[in-house]
Amino acid sequence: MHEENTNTMAALRGLRSSSASVRLRAALAVGTAPDPRYVDRLIEQCAIEPEFPVRDMLTWALTRHSAQSTVPRLIEELRSDRAQARSQALHTLSKIGDRRAWPALTHAHLTDADDEVARSAWRAAVVLVPEAERPRLAEVLAGQLGRGGRETQVSLSRALIALGEVAGPVLRAAKTCGDARVRQHAVATERLLRDPDAVFDFAIEEAKRIVALGPTRQEE
């Protein structure tokens, strides 16, 4: 028992280390030997961890623990004022895939002003959404069309495509929007929905040409 406590304390100290490589090894160790006592510290570190590889390992370590011990704590984190805390909690919930978390994923998360939080929310939503809620989710996601740069637009397109045929009507409606960026993003996403092997950059360039040609060309 003494050795077990010593190992636990060593792992927890490692997660607080100033060295990214030490934090990475500590997260790996925690995930390799899951223990409910680690959960709070893993989530706390996710909120402040500056290095992506370490954050990725922290998420993996959390997925190695039981959903009963992680999901309630991650849901609490969704209310954090810290954007990274919300984003990492959403990302981890998408990896765990426990649909009990769905009610905690709100419209505010899906439209969060922070692009990283919004992208994480979109990925989590398409994993967690109940079948009956899919059309409503598609409507909310379509309301974000045209937002942000390439990375954000690709993430949104992928989320809508993951919803399948329920995305079709909202994309067709978005093609009549007065905002050219929204129309372009809708056309590109519709192209990707029809042809998942298409490349987003080519799809968006084609969409720009279609939108420039006007409504008649958009109906083709």
**In the chain, where do the E strands start and end?**
none
In whole angstroms, how far apart are CA 180 and each of 145, 146, 176?
Answer: 10, 8, 9
pTM to 2 decimal places: 0.88
Rounded CA separation 33/61 (Å): 9
pLDDT at 209: 76
Query: Which has more confidence, 216 or 174?
Result: 174
pLDDT at 134: 97
In whole angstroms, how far apart are CA 75 and each of 101, 165, 167, 220?
Answer: 7, 29, 27, 44
Query: How many CB atoms are located within 10 Å of the residue 173 CB?
Result: 12
Rounded CA separation 58/42 (Å): 6
pLDDT at 215: 60
Element (H, E) at 32: helix 20-32
Residues in the chain: 220
Instruction: Give the tens place of pLDDT for each residue, 80-99.
Output: 999 999 999 999 999 999 99
- Nearest alpha carbon to residue 31 among 46, 17, 19: 46
Q: CB under 8 Å to 39, separation ≥6 — which residues?
A: 62, 65, 69, 70, 73
DSSP 33: S
In whole angstroms, how far apart are CA 162 and each of 44, 156, 220?
Answer: 31, 10, 23
Rounded CA separation 86/46 (Å): 10
pLDDT at 220: 46
pLDDT at 193: 86
pLDDT at 164: 92
Whether the Cβ atoms of residue 182 and residue 174 lie closer than 8 Å to each other: yes
The mean per-residue pLDDT over the stretch 103-110 comes to 98
Tokens at 106, concatenated:
């709100």
Instruction: Give the tens place of pLDDT for each residue, 20-78.
Output: 999 999 999 999 999 998 999 999 999 999 999 999 999 999 999 999 999 999 999 99
Q: Is the pLDDT of residue 197 over 90?
A: no
The mean per-residue pLDDT over the stretch 7-32 comes to 90
pLDDT at 83: 98
Rounded CA separation 209/218 (Å): 10
In whole angstroms, how far apart are CA 14 and each of 25, 64, 111?
Answer: 8, 18, 35
The mean per-residue pLDDT over the stretch 188-204 comes to 78
**Rounded to a whole number, what is the largest CA-CA distance in the chain?**
75
